[in-house]
Amino acid sequence: MTDAKAEGFKNVTDAKAGGFKNVTDAKAERFENVLNYFRQNVPDAASELRYADPYQLTVAVILSAQCTDKRVNAVTPDFFALYPDAETLARASAPEIGEAIRSISYPNNKAKHLSGMARMLVGEFDGRVPDSREALQQLPGVGRKTANVILSVAFGKPAMAVDTHVFRVAARTGLSENSKTPEDTERQLVEHIPEGDIPRAHHWLILHGRYVCTARKPKCGECGISEYCLHYQELSKTKQSKAKQNKTITNMNAKHSRL
Ligand code: SF4
């Protein structure tokens, strides 16, 4: 076991040794357990989007809004052959770009965003993708979530992008509490996840939400973090209480049938 892993376990053990835990301790312990699980089992989590540089990543992330990474990856090789950098993309018209991405959801809107994004990169950023959130959010089609993905994936910065998967997994597990907005979930996650883990944690939560903790039917039986998950703990309590109720009813019925 590495020192880092041993340290992770030590934190958990220390928290347990503390006897009664307050809410803050319990939350810290939940984070530590969940992060340790992913550190050990998915150490190399990465984006499923294919890209070669920050420009390609920015295009791919804009295309991936309400579209699968698989579909985006099917389109981007031809797209990048046509438009290998911000300069070539800036020279294309929105209808030309729309034609190149017609099999992606919302092609017309996304074409307008890509065109505006490329023109701004050329006009104001020397054709390069900037590495600050403020500058990124000026680009058409780039909101806080997309900016965080670019900061974290392209530049390795500790930015947590909260998409629908991250929002759902954080809420179900109890990593976030009473969060009504992606910004609130982002704040709670960033507060508890060590900076060095934030870029990987973004992928851990997205991939977990995509393949295990799915929206309609979470696969709790196959989930490696179920013992630390608030939703699962509540589910188990409900099952236990129903089983207890059923047992009581069965006993009462048996008693009545003997009278
Ligand atoms: S136990 Fe179920 S609800 Fe909790 S994280 Fe795993 S799949 Fe999601």
Q: Is residue 128 situated within a structural domain?
A: yes
- Mean pLDDT over the full length of the chain: 89
Concerning whether 145 is annotated as a catalytic residue, the answer is yes
In what helix (H) or strand (E) does residue 246 lie, and over which residues does it extend?
helix 230-258
Contacts of 221 (CB under 8 A, 6+ apart): none
Most ligand 1 atoms within 8 A of CB, residue of 37, 225, 236 to mutate: 225
Residue 205 domain-assigned?
Answer: no
Residue 91 in any domain: the answer is: yes
Residue 107 resides in a domain: yes
Q: 253: pLDDT confidence band, cut at 50, 70 and 90?
A: low
The per-residue pLDDT for range 147-181, each reduced to its tens digit, is 999 999 999 999 999 999 999 999 999 999 999 99
Assigned domain for 194 exists: no
Options 5, 145, 237, 247, the catalytic residue: 145
Confidence of residue 26 (pLDDT cuts 50, 70, 90): confident
Report which residue type is found at 103: S
Closest ligand 1 atom to 212 CA: 7
Domain of 83, in residue numbers:
54-155
Could you give the number of structural domains in the chain? 1
> 0.95 cut: is pTM over it?
no
| Ligand 1 binding pocket mutation candidate from 206, 229, 230, 239 (most atoms within 8 A of CB) | 229
Rounded Cα distance between 121 and 143, Å, is: 15
- Asked whether the predicted pLDDT for residue 78 surpasses 80, the reply is yes
What CATH number is given to the structural domain containing 108? 1.10.340.30
What's the rounded mean pLDDT across residues 78-98?
A: 98
* Cβ atoms of 218 and 172 closer than 8 Å: yes
